[in-house]
Amino acid sequence: MDHTPWPPEVAARYRAAGHWRGQTFGALLTALADAHATRTAVVGERDGATSRWDYAELDRRAHSIAAGLADAGIRAGDRVVVQLPNVPEFVPVLFGLWRVGAWPVFALPAHRHTELRHFAEQSEAAAILTVGTHERHDHEALAHAVAAEVPSVRQVHVVGSAAFDDLSATAARELPDPDPASVAFLQLSGGSTGLPKLIPRTHDDYLYSVRESARICALRPDSVYLATLPAAHNYPLSSPGILGALHVGAKVVLSPRPDPDTAFRLIDREGVTITGVVPPLAATWAQAAARTEHDLSTLEVLLVGGAKCGRELAERVGPALGARLQQVFGMAEGLVCYTRLDDPDDLVLNTQGRPISLDDEVRLVDPENPSASSDDLVPEGETGALLTRGPYTIRGYYRAPEHNTQAFTPDGFYRTGDLVRRGPTGHLEVVGRAKEQINRGGEKVAAEEVEDHLMAHPDVLDAAVVAVPDEYLGERTCAYVVPVPGAAPTGPVLRRFIRERGVAAFKVPDLVQVVAAFPVTGVGKTSKRELRAALAALVREA
C-alpha cells in the first residue's frame, strides 16, 4: 500500500458527520462556475502582464488544460511534479490536473535539482509542469535535466510556452470524475529526517479543511485574498488560502513576490481584504506600512503563522497594518489551528489558536519520551509533545512504511514534533520543538538533510546542524563541521558546495563553525540527536 487510508469505521464517521461530502475539486469548480460565472476568480501576473479571469473563464481553462493533458497521455493517478511560482496559471493548472485525476506533487519555486529529482523519483512522476525562467533561474532546463535522469518522467510542460498555449486551447470535454475519497495531490513535509516526505491528501479531507478554514476566517464572496507566500505551500493554498477564497466565490490575487512594495501595490489596486504571512514578513510589512503611499485600508484580516509569532510582534502588527491579527498554526500533514476573529485579545496575542474541528483529537504526551503514545498524557496545562488525529490529518506518508512507524503512533496519531501547552479554552501555545528541524522564518530545514549534504564533501568527517536564535527569522541554521584530519574546509567553500549540489537556497547553512571535534563527544559515542541537543544548548548559553 502506497499510503495509509483512514480505518473504514473512522471514514464512515467523518462522512456521517458531514465532514467528508463526496465532492472532488473538479466538481467544486463546476459548481463555482455555475454560481459565480462572471465574478472575478483569479488575478495574477506573469512576465509583467496581468491576467484577470472570472469563474467561467477559470472553469473553461481548467477544462481545456485537463483535456490537453489527457490527450498528451496523462492519466488518472499519474503523479505530476508542479513547480510554479505565483503565476495566474497555477490555479487552472491545478484544477486541470484534478479533473484528469492526476496528482500534483507540490514543489516550491525555491527547490533545485536534488529536491526536484527526489520528488520525481519518490512519486514516480509521469511529468513535470513548470515555467521558463523565473527570478533568473531556468526552471525549464531544471525540469529537463530531472526528466533525463528519472525514467518515469515522460513529459515536461512549460507554462508560457507555445506548446502549453496549444495544450490550453484543447477543446473541453467531460472526463470521468475521480473518487472523492482518493488521493488528490502530494504535499511536502517540512521534514526532519533526510529528504522531504510526500503527504497524500484526499479530495474529501482537504476540502473539509478548506471549507472550515474559509468559515473560520470569515471569507465572503466579496472578500479578496492575496496569496503572498508561494502558492503551492499548504498555508497559502488552504489556510484559508487560494482554495478557501475560491470556495466562497471570492477573488484570489497572486502576488509574484512577498515584499511590501509588490504586495502593498496589489492590496491597494485590488482591494485585498485578507492575506497570510510568516512572522518575519509581518515585521517587514509592519515597518513598511508606516511610510507606504499605498492605501491598505481594505485589509481586514492578517494571518500570521508558519513559525512562532512572538508577543511583541503580535501586538504591533495589527495596528501597523490596520487589520485584525489571526494566528495560524498548521502543518501540511493536516491539523490547522486558528485564533478566532471573535477571540479576546489575550488569546489572539498569546496563543496559536485552536483546531479547526471538534473532531481534531489533540494529545499532549511526555516530551522526554520519544516513544510516548496516546496513553502517556502530561498533566493539564503542562508542556507536551503534540500528537494529533482527525478528519484531515494523514495516517501515513506516501511510500514511507518505515518512517511511518516512527512518525505515527500505532493508533494513528501523527507525531507533530511540536511542543505545546493547552489552555482551558483548547487554544494551543507552541513553546518549542522536539523534531530535528530548523524553522527559518517559516521555511523548514531538516537537520539531517543538510548534514548529509555536508558529509558528501571530501574534507568533512562529521557535521551537525542546529538552530541558532535570530532576531529577524526567529531561527537560522548553524552547521558544526569536523574536518577529516589534515583538511581545512572553510564556511564559504562548504556553503558553495551545498549550493552547487542543487538545493533550495534556504537550506544552505547561514553559519558554519569548523571545530576540531564536537565539544560534547568526550563522553563516548553520542547519538546525532544528543549531539544536536548539546550543541543547541551551547548556542543558547553563548
Q: Residue from 62, 250, 288, 336 that binds ligand J2J (CB under 6 A)?
A: 336
- Stretch of 54-62, 246-254, 324-332, 476-484 contacting ligand J2J, by CB under 6 A: 324-332
When asked if residue 307 is in the footprint of ligand J2J (CB under 6 A), the reply is: yes
- How far does CA 529 lie from the centroid of its chain? 25
Residue 460, SS3 per DSSP = strand
Binding mask of the shown chain, residues 385 to 424, with x at each position contacting ligand J2J by CB under 6 A:
-------------------------------x-x------
- For the bound state, the minimum distance from the C-beta of residue 354 to ligand J2J, rounded and expressed in Å, comes to 12
- For the bound state, the minimum distance from the C-beta of residue 186 to ligand J2J, rounded and expressed in Å, comes to 13
- For the bound state, the minimum distance from the C-beta of residue 444 to ligand J2J, rounded and expressed in Å, comes to 5
Residue 273 or 388: the one with the smaller Cβ distance to ligand J2J is: 388
- For the bound state, the minimum distance from the C-beta of residue 296 to ligand J2J, rounded and expressed in Å, comes to 22
For the chain, counts of helices (H) and of strands (E): 18, 26
Task: At 284, list the grid cell.
Answer: 517587514
16 vs 9: CA distance, rounded Å: 10
Of 15, 21, 31, which is closest to residue 247 (Cα–Cα)?
31
* Non-local CB neighbours of 445 within 8 Å, separated by 6+ positions: 437, 438, 439, 465, 477, 506, 507
Residue 108 or 147: the one with the smaller Cβ distance to ligand J2J is: 108
Q: Residue from 234, 255, 273, 477 that binds ligand J2J (CB under 6 A)?
A: 234
Q: Are 114 and 503 in contact (CB under 8 A)?
A: yes
Residue 324, SS3 per DSSP = strand
* Non-local CB neighbours of 263 within 8 Å, separated by 6+ positions: 226, 228, 255, 257, 275, 285
Q: Are 123 and 91 in contact (CB under 8 A)?
A: no
Task: Write the DSSP symbol of residue 188.
Answer: E
How many residues make contact with ligand J2J (CB under 6 A)? Answer: 24
Task: At 403, list the grid cell.
Answer: 518512517
Q: Residue from 190, 230, 244, 509 that binds ligand J2J (CB under 6 A)?
A: 190
When asked if residue 275 is in the footprint of ligand J2J (CB under 6 A), the reply is: no
Element (H, E) at 404: helix 401-407
Of 285, 238, 220, which is closest to residue 257 (Cα–Cα)?
285
- Stretch of 68-76, 252-260, 303-311, 400-408 contacting ligand J2J, by CB under 6 A: 303-311
Residue 55 or 106: the one with the smaller Cβ distance to ligand J2J is: 106
When asked if residue 328 is in the footprint of ligand J2J (CB under 6 A), the reply is: yes
Q: Residue from 331, 394, 468, 514 that binds ligand J2J (CB under 6 A)?
A: 331
- For the bound state, the minimum distance from the C-beta of residue 174 to ligand J2J, rounded and expressed in Å, comes to 32
Q: Are 263 and 286 in contact (CB under 8 A)?
A: no
Q: Residue from 180, 306, 384, 483 that binds ligand J2J (CB under 6 A)?
A: 306
Residue 109 or 178: the one with the smaller Cβ distance to ligand J2J is: 109
Q: Are 477 and 497 in contact (CB under 8 A)?
A: no
When asked if residue 191 is in the footprint of ligand J2J (CB under 6 A), the reply is: no
Residue in this structure with the C-alpha cell 489558536, named with its chain if needed = 353
Q: Which of positions 239-258 make contact with ligand J2J (CB under 6 A)?
A: 239
* Non-local CB neighbours of 510 within 8 Å, separated by 6+ positions: 440, 468, 470, 476, 477, 478
When asked if residue 235 is in the footprint of ligand J2J (CB under 6 A), the reply is: yes
* Non-local CB neighbours of 378 within 8 Å, separated by 6+ positions: 364, 365, 366, 367, 384
When asked if residue 41 is in the footprint of ligand J2J (CB under 6 A), the reply is: no
Residue 30 or 326: the one with the smaller Cβ distance to ligand J2J is: 326
Q: Residue from 223, 238, 255, 404 that binds ligand J2J (CB under 6 A)?
A: 238
Residue 407, SS3 per DSSP = helix
- For the bound state, the minimum distance from the C-beta of residue 121 to ligand J2J, rounded and expressed in Å, comes to 21
Residue 250 or 430: the one with the smaller Cβ distance to ligand J2J is: 430
514 vs 488: CA distance, rounded Å: 8
367 vs 369: CA distance, rounded Å: 5
- Stretch of 6-14, 22-30, 301-309, 341-349 contacting ligand J2J, by CB under 6 A: 301-309
Q: Beta-carbon neighbour count of residue 514 at 10 Å?
A: 18
30 vs 204: CA distance, rounded Å: 16
- For the bound state, the minimum distance from the C-beta of residue 50 to ligand J2J, rounded and expressed in Å, comes to 28
When asked if residue 352 is in the footprint of ligand J2J (CB under 6 A), the reply is: yes
Residue 230 or 249: the one with the smaller Cβ distance to ligand J2J is: 230
Q: Residue from 74, 272, 274, 430 that binds ligand J2J (CB under 6 A)?
A: 430
509 vs 491: CA distance, rounded Å: 9
Residue 228 sits at φ, ψ, to 5 deg, of -90, -45
Residue 167 or 328: the one with the smaller Cβ distance to ligand J2J is: 328
Residue 65 or 107: the one with the smaller Cβ distance to ligand J2J is: 107
Residue nearest to ligand J2J (CB): 330
Q: Which residues lie near ligand J2J (CB under 6 A)? A: 190, 234-235, 238-239, 305-308, 327-332, 336, 352, 416, 418, 430, 433, 439, 442, 444
